[in-house]
Chain A
Amino acid sequence: MATSTVSSIPLSLSDRLTAGIVALLIGGFLVFGAGLANSAVLHDTAHDTRHSYGFPCH
Chain B
Amino acid sequence: MIVRTLLAAIVAGLIAGVFMTGAQELRVVPLILHAEEFEGEAPAAGEQPAAVQPGTADPAAANHDQHSSLKAVSPIDALLDALSPITPAYAHEGEHEEGGIMFGMSRFSGTLIANLVTGSGFALLLAGVSLVIGYPITLRNGALWGACGWLAVHMLPAIGLPPELPGFPAAELGDRQVWWLATVALSAAGLYLLVLREEIAAKIIGLVLIAAPHVYGAPQPSDISSNVPAVLGAEFAVAALATTLAFWIVLGVVSGFINDRFAKA
The verdict on B127 contacting chain A, using a C-beta distance below 8 Å, is: yes
CB-contacts of B17-39 with A (<8 A): 20, 24, 28-29, 32
A16 CA to B161 CA, complexed, in Å: 35
Cβ distance A19 to chain B, nearest Cβ, rounded Å: 4
A16 contacts across to B, CB distance below 8 A: 131-132, 134
- In the complex, number of A-B residue pairs with CB atoms less than 8 Å apart: 204
Instruction: Decide: A27 and B180 in contact? CB cutoff 8 A.
Output: no
Q: Which of B111, B122, B128, B130 has the most CB of A within 10 A?
A: B128
Q: Would you give the shortest CB distance from B73 to chain A, in whole angstroms?
A: 13
Q: What's the nearest-Cβ distance from chain A to residue B140, in Å?
A: 11
Q: Which residues of B contact A56 (CB under 8 A)?
A: 161, 164, 170, 173, 176-177, 179-180
> Which of B5, B129, B131, B163 has the largest number of chain A CB atoms within 10 A?
B131
Mask for B109-135, Cβ within 8 A of A = 1, else 0?
A: 011011101101111111111111010
Q: How far is the CA of A20 from the CA of B132 in the complex (A)?
A: 5
**Contact in complex: B264, A4 (CB < 8 Å):** yes
Q: Is the CB of A29 within 8 A of B173?
A: no
Partner of A53, one of B2, B89, B240, B265: B240
Q: Which of A1-54 contact B (CB under 8 A)?
A: 3-11, 15-36, 38, 40-54
**A49 contacts B115, CB within 8 Å?**
yes
Residues of chain B with a CB closer than 8 A to A29's CB = 121
**What is the minimal beta-carbon distance from A31 to any residue of chain B, in angstroms?**
4
A interface bracket (residues with beta carbon within 8 Å of B)? 35 or more
A52 to chain B, nearest CB (A): 5
Beta-carbon contacts under 8 Å, B118-172 to A: 118, 120-132, 134, 136, 153-154, 157-158, 161-166, 170
B49 CB, nearest partner CB in chain A, Å: 16
Residues of B within 8 A of A35 (CB): 118, 121
Beta-carbon contact of A40 and B118 below 8 Å = no
Q: How far is the CA of A15 from the CA of B132 in the complex (A)?
A: 10
Binds A, one of B96-104, B193-201, B203-211: B96-104
B110 touches A20 (CB 8 A): no
A24 near B28: Cβ-Cβ < 8 Å: no
Q: Which of A7, A18, A34, A50 neighbours the largest number of chain B CB atoms within 10 Å of its CB?
A: A34
4 closest A-B pairs by beta carbon, nearest first, are: A27-B124, A20-B131, A30-B121, A23-B128
B residues near A (Cβ < 8 Å) are 1-2, 5-6, 9, 20, 24, 28-29, 32, 62, 66-69, 88-89, 91-92, 95-96, 100-102, 105, 107, 110-111, 113-115, 117-118, 120-132, 134, 136, 153-154, 157-158, 161-166, 170, 173, 176-177, 179-181, 240-241, 243-244, 263-265
